[in-house]
Amino acid sequence: MSLLNSSGFPIGQVGLSQRPEAKSKGIDPVAMEKLYELVQQNMRSDEGIGVLDKRVSINSRKIEEPLAFWKSVYFQYSVEGRLLNGIEAYDLGDINKTPGTSLDKGPYIAMCNIMALEAIRMMGDQMPTAEKSTLLAFASDREKEISAFWKNMFAPTEFQAEWAWRCVLAVLAGNPAAAHELFENYRQQLP
Protein backbone atom coordinates (compact mmCIF):
# COMPACT_ATOMS: atom_id res chain seq x y z
CA MET A 1 0.00 0.00 0.00
CA SER A 2 1.51 3.33 -1.09
CA LEU A 3 1.16 6.56 0.75
CA LEU A 4 0.47 9.66 -1.31
CA ASN A 5 1.18 13.24 -0.44
CA SER A 6 -1.32 16.05 -1.00
CA SER A 7 -0.30 16.28 -4.67
CA GLY A 8 -0.90 12.57 -5.23
CA PHE A 9 2.81 11.55 -5.39
CA PRO A 10 4.01 8.50 -3.44
CA ILE A 11 6.04 9.29 -0.35
CA GLY A 12 7.05 5.76 0.55
CA GLN A 13 5.68 2.36 1.22
CA VAL A 14 4.38 1.19 4.53
CA GLY A 15 6.87 -1.14 6.18
CA LEU A 16 9.61 -0.55 3.58
CA SER A 17 10.73 2.95 4.47
CA GLN A 18 13.77 3.04 6.68
CA ARG A 19 15.63 5.77 8.39
CA PRO A 20 18.83 6.57 6.49
CA GLU A 21 21.99 5.63 8.36
CA ALA A 22 25.01 7.81 8.44
CA LYS A 23 27.72 6.08 6.38
CA SER A 24 30.56 8.38 7.37
CA LYS A 25 32.34 8.16 10.66
CA GLY A 26 33.18 11.82 10.75
CA ILE A 27 35.48 14.16 8.92
CA ASP A 28 39.11 13.17 8.54
CA PRO A 29 41.03 16.21 9.80
CA VAL A 30 44.21 15.29 7.90
CA ALA A 31 42.34 15.04 4.60
CA MET A 32 40.57 18.32 5.31
CA GLU A 33 43.88 20.02 6.10
CA LYS A 34 45.36 18.81 2.80
CA LEU A 35 42.31 19.98 0.89
CA TYR A 36 42.48 23.39 2.58
CA GLU A 37 46.19 23.62 1.73
CA LEU A 38 45.46 22.87 -1.94
CA VAL A 39 42.69 25.45 -2.14
CA GLN A 40 44.92 28.08 -0.51
CA GLN A 41 47.76 27.28 -2.93
CA ASN A 42 45.42 27.60 -5.90
CA MET A 43 44.21 30.98 -4.65
CA ARG A 44 47.78 32.25 -4.04
CA SER A 45 48.85 31.17 -7.51
CA ASP A 46 45.79 32.71 -9.18
CA GLU A 47 46.50 35.99 -7.39
CA GLY A 48 50.22 35.81 -8.23
CA ILE A 49 51.36 35.81 -4.61
CA GLY A 50 54.94 34.58 -4.41
CA VAL A 51 56.47 32.68 -1.50
CA LEU A 52 59.68 34.72 -1.51
CA ASP A 53 60.12 38.28 -0.31
CA LYS A 54 62.72 38.89 -2.98
CA ARG A 55 63.97 36.81 -5.86
CA VAL A 56 67.40 36.81 -7.45
CA SER A 57 68.05 36.02 -11.09
CA ILE A 58 70.25 33.06 -11.90
CA ASN A 59 72.35 33.13 -15.03
CA SER A 60 71.64 29.97 -17.03
CA ARG A 61 75.39 29.50 -17.63
CA LYS A 62 75.84 28.78 -13.91
CA ILE A 63 73.51 25.80 -14.29
CA GLU A 64 75.29 24.08 -17.18
CA GLU A 65 78.47 22.79 -15.48
CA PRO A 66 76.85 21.21 -12.40
CA LEU A 67 74.02 19.84 -14.56
CA ALA A 68 76.52 18.12 -16.88
CA PHE A 69 78.33 16.65 -13.85
CA TRP A 70 75.16 15.28 -12.26
CA LYS A 71 73.83 13.89 -15.53
CA SER A 72 77.03 11.88 -15.98
CA VAL A 73 76.48 10.36 -12.52
CA TYR A 74 72.76 9.69 -13.06
CA PHE A 75 73.03 8.29 -16.61
CA GLN A 76 75.46 5.54 -15.51
CA TYR A 77 72.59 3.23 -14.57
CA SER A 78 69.47 2.03 -16.29
CA VAL A 79 66.80 -0.57 -15.58
CA GLU A 80 65.03 -2.36 -18.43
CA GLY A 81 66.26 0.25 -20.91
CA ARG A 82 65.08 3.27 -18.93
CA LEU A 83 66.64 5.56 -16.36
CA LEU A 84 66.24 4.88 -12.64
CA ASN A 85 63.26 6.16 -10.72
CA GLY A 86 63.58 7.50 -7.17
CA ILE A 87 63.04 4.18 -5.39
CA GLU A 88 65.51 2.33 -7.62
CA ALA A 89 68.13 5.04 -7.14
CA TYR A 90 67.60 4.92 -3.38
CA ASP A 91 67.91 1.14 -3.33
CA LEU A 92 71.32 1.38 -5.07
CA GLY A 93 72.63 3.31 -2.07
CA ASP A 94 70.93 1.26 0.66
CA ILE A 95 73.21 -1.41 2.12
CA ASN A 96 70.19 -3.53 3.07
CA LYS A 97 68.87 -3.52 -0.51
CA THR A 98 72.17 -3.61 -2.44
CA PRO A 99 74.77 -5.53 -0.47
CA GLY A 100 78.36 -5.82 -1.59
CA THR A 101 80.59 -3.60 -3.61
CA SER A 102 77.93 -2.30 -6.02
CA LEU A 103 76.58 0.14 -3.39
CA ASP A 104 76.27 3.62 -4.97
CA LYS A 105 74.50 6.63 -3.46
CA GLY A 106 75.44 8.84 -6.43
CA PRO A 107 72.34 8.36 -8.62
CA TYR A 108 69.95 9.33 -5.81
CA ILE A 109 71.96 12.46 -4.99
CA ALA A 110 72.32 13.23 -8.70
CA MET A 111 68.55 13.04 -9.19
CA CYS A 112 67.98 15.57 -6.41
CA ASN A 113 70.47 18.00 -7.93
CA ILE A 114 69.28 17.57 -11.52
CA MET A 115 65.70 18.18 -10.40
CA ALA A 116 66.71 21.39 -8.60
CA LEU A 117 68.87 22.67 -11.47
CA GLU A 118 66.23 21.94 -14.10
CA ALA A 119 63.54 23.58 -11.97
CA ILE A 120 65.63 26.74 -11.61
CA ARG A 121 66.12 26.80 -15.37
CA MET A 122 62.40 26.20 -15.98
CA MET A 123 61.34 28.92 -13.52
CA GLY A 124 63.23 31.54 -15.50
CA ASP A 125 62.43 34.91 -13.94
CA GLN A 126 59.03 33.86 -12.62
CA MET A 127 58.34 34.10 -8.89
CA PRO A 128 57.55 30.73 -7.24
CA THR A 129 54.18 30.51 -5.53
CA ALA A 130 54.36 27.04 -3.93
CA GLU A 131 56.10 26.58 -0.61
CA LYS A 132 56.04 22.78 -0.70
CA SER A 133 56.82 20.39 -3.52
CA THR A 134 53.52 18.60 -2.92
CA LEU A 135 51.72 21.80 -3.93
CA LEU A 136 53.52 22.30 -7.26
CA ALA A 137 50.75 20.59 -9.21
CA PHE A 138 48.29 23.18 -7.84
CA ALA A 139 50.47 26.26 -8.30
CA SER A 140 51.31 28.45 -11.31
CA ASP A 141 51.45 27.03 -14.81
CA ARG A 142 55.26 27.01 -14.73
CA GLU A 143 55.29 25.15 -11.41
CA LYS A 144 52.79 22.65 -12.82
CA GLU A 145 55.19 22.08 -15.72
CA ILE A 146 58.02 21.42 -13.25
CA SER A 147 55.86 18.97 -11.32
CA ALA A 148 54.91 17.11 -14.50
CA PHE A 149 58.54 17.08 -15.70
CA TRP A 150 59.76 15.64 -12.40
CA LYS A 151 57.04 13.01 -12.37
CA ASN A 152 57.52 11.93 -15.99
CA MET A 153 61.32 12.09 -16.10
CA PHE A 154 62.33 10.91 -12.62
CA ALA A 155 59.35 9.49 -10.71
CA PRO A 156 61.11 10.81 -7.58
CA THR A 157 60.55 9.95 -3.96
CA GLU A 158 58.73 12.56 -1.90
CA PHE A 159 62.00 13.34 -0.11
CA GLN A 160 63.76 14.04 -3.43
CA ALA A 161 61.01 16.37 -4.61
CA GLU A 162 60.95 18.23 -1.31
CA TRP A 163 64.76 18.52 -1.17
CA ALA A 164 64.91 19.79 -4.75
CA TRP A 165 62.12 22.34 -4.27
CA ARG A 166 63.57 23.62 -0.98
CA CYS A 167 66.90 24.00 -2.76
CA VAL A 168 65.22 25.94 -5.59
CA LEU A 169 63.53 28.27 -3.12
CA ALA A 170 66.74 28.84 -1.16
CA VAL A 171 68.77 29.61 -4.29
CA LEU A 172 66.09 31.89 -5.76
CA ALA A 173 65.81 33.70 -2.41
CA GLY A 174 69.52 34.49 -2.65
CA ASN A 175 70.85 32.19 0.06
CA PRO A 176 74.63 32.18 -0.57
CA ALA A 177 75.23 28.80 1.12
CA ALA A 178 72.58 27.10 -1.03
CA ALA A 179 73.91 28.69 -4.21
CA HIS A 180 77.48 27.70 -3.32
CA GLU A 181 76.40 24.11 -2.62
CA LEU A 182 74.41 23.81 -5.86
CA PHE A 183 76.66 25.68 -8.29
CA GLU A 184 80.21 25.45 -6.94
CA ASN A 185 80.71 22.85 -4.20
CA TYR A 186 78.44 20.21 -5.77
CA ARG A 187 81.14 17.54 -6.18
CA GLN A 188 81.52 17.37 -2.39
CA GLN A 189 77.98 15.98 -2.05
CA LEU A 190 79.09 12.54 -3.24
CA PRO A 191 80.22 10.15 -0.49
Q: Decide if 51 is inside a domain.
A: yes
Q: Please give the tally of structural domains in the chain.
A: 1
pLDDT of residue 121: 96
For residue 178, tell me if it sits in a domain: yes
Q: Within a domain: residue 127?
A: yes
Distance CA 131, CA 139 (A): 10
Q: Where are the beta strands (DSSP E) in the chain?
A: 2-4, 10-13
Gap between the Cα atoms of 18 and 12, Å rounded:
9
Whether 23 is in a domain gets the answer no
Task: Tell me the mean pLDDT in the region 120-147.
Answer: 93
**Residue 151 placed within a domain:** yes
SS3 at position 3: strand
> Which of 8-12, 103-107, 143-147, 156-160 is predicted least confidently?
8-12
Q: Give yes or no for residue 15 having a pLDDT over 60.
A: no
Is residue 124 assigned to a domain? Answer: yes
pLDDT at 20: 58
Q: Provide the residue range defining the domain that includes 69.
A: 28-189
pTM here? 0.79
Give residue 96's pLDDT: 86
184: in domain: yes
Question: What confidence tier does 19 reach under pLDDT thresholds 50, 70, 90?
Answer: low
Query: What are φ and ψ of residue 146, in 5° steps?
Result: -65, -45
Let me know if residue 90 belongs to a domain: yes
Q: Answer whether 35's CB lies under 8 Å from 27's CB.
A: no
Is 99's pLDDT higher than 80?
Answer: no
